[in-house]
Amino acid sequence: MQLENAVAIVTGGSEGIGRAIAEALAEEGCKVTITGRREGPLRKAAEEIGAEWIVGDVGDEGDAARTVRSVVEAHGRLDILVNNAGFGLFKPLVDTTLEELEAVYHTNVFGPFLMTREAARQFIAQGGGELINIASTSALKGSATRTAYGSSKFALRGMTECWRDELRRHSVRVTLVNPSEVMTEFATKAGSPRERSDNKLRPREIADAIIGVLKIDGRGFVPELSVFATNPF
């Protein structure tokens, strides 16, 4: 697709992978709106990126509808939705509470569902669109302590496959992106801090991969891609 002047929403766009994606899209000439729940960091990131911003919780039905509606009203269309907002929780099964599991699913599963449902209505009406879902290599293989996070990404992968099949006939391209370990604050916030390493991925690698996917001519698309560090050891 032609990215110049394309209208994009990036959820969770104030830091980490989301911010890198928003920056890359803005550099390509996209009209970018980032979302998040904390106004201060969101406003600051938007000013630095040159993006618009909307405070909202992707897992809240009203906020999701308001976000998409506001962008469409401002720009007349929506070309790209990047479902990036998410968080991790790494705990043993026996120590994980139902409330913790529900909180992870609220953002990582219900959030993409709500945002995609609203965006899909606009994509179908205008005859096309780009949906990028940020999952994880944890969506490819289960592992200890990842009952909440890993299963939420498996769920996102499953929903993505359903949406891809359903929306292709409307010229909507649906891509799942599985980053491996990326040097952000994600792991620390999830309760599993990692040592910094120059060999591990940075957010920009994920953003560059997504830009490449979006630039493919509309007659084709990449259904799923995983990004690993070449030599993380």
How many whole angstroms separate alpha carbon 233 and alpha carbon 220? 35
DSSP state of 106: I
Catalytic residue among 110, 149, 163, 186: 149
Q: How far is CA 59 from CA 55, 174, 207, in A?
A: 12, 20, 23
Based on the residue annotation, tell me whether 105 is a catalytic residue of this protein: no
Query: How are beta strands 172-179 and 7-11 bridged, if at all?
Result: unpaired
CA atoms within 13 A on the CB side of 71: 32
Torsion angle (degrees, nearest 10) of CA 90, 83, 162, 181 = -40
User: What residues are annotated to the active site?
Assistant: 149
